[in-house]
Amino acid sequence: MRLELSRRTDLAVRAIRSLAGSGRIKRPELAAQAETTPDFLARVVAPLVKAGWVRSEVGRAGGYELAVDPATLSMLDVIVAVEGSPDDGRCVLRGGPCGTQEVCSLHDAWTHARQALMEQLGRTPVMGD
C-alpha cells in the first residue's frame, strides 16, 4: 500500500507559497524558487491557472501571480487540482472498485481511513507550516 503524491503537488504548493504576497513573479524566477525547471513549472502551474487561483501573463512584463487569497486553499484543494481526486473508490486489495455485493476484507476500514484523510487534508491550509 502506497500513499504518496507526485512531485507536481509539492511544486504546486511551493509555487503558491512563493506567490503569496509577492505580486507577479516571472516564470524562471518562480521555477528557481520552487527548485525546478521553467518548463516543468509551467505544467505544474497550469492546473492552478485553470482553477482560477493563479493568473498567467505572457510577454516581457508577464509572469504568474495569485488570483485568490491563499488562506482559502487547502491541501486537498491543491491535490485535487493537480492530481485529481484521491478518493477514487478503488479497492486497495483488488485495484478496481469493490463489488456491490461482495466487498474486500479491508473495505470498511479503508473507507473510514480514506474519509478521515480527506477531511484532514481539507482542514490543512496550503499556507500552513
Between CA 25 and CA 4 the distance in angstroms is: 29
CA dihedral 91, 95, 97, 100 (to 10 degrees): -70
pLDDT value at position 129?
64
Distance of CA 107 to the CA centre of its chain: 26
Using pLDDT thresholds of 50, 70 and 90, give the confidence band for residue 106: confident
In the prediction, which pLDDT does 31 show?
Answer: 94
Q: How confident is the model at residue 107 (pLDDT cuts 50, 70, 90)?
A: confident
Q: Which pLDDT score is estimated for 90?
A: 72
- CA end-to-end span of the chain, whole Å? 27
The fraction of the chain above a pLDDT of 70, given in percent, is 91
What pLDDT was estimated at residue 14?
Answer: 93
pLDDT higher than threshold 70 for residue 100: no
What is the C-alpha separation between 127 and 129, in angstroms, rounded?
7
The pLDDT of residue 108 is 83
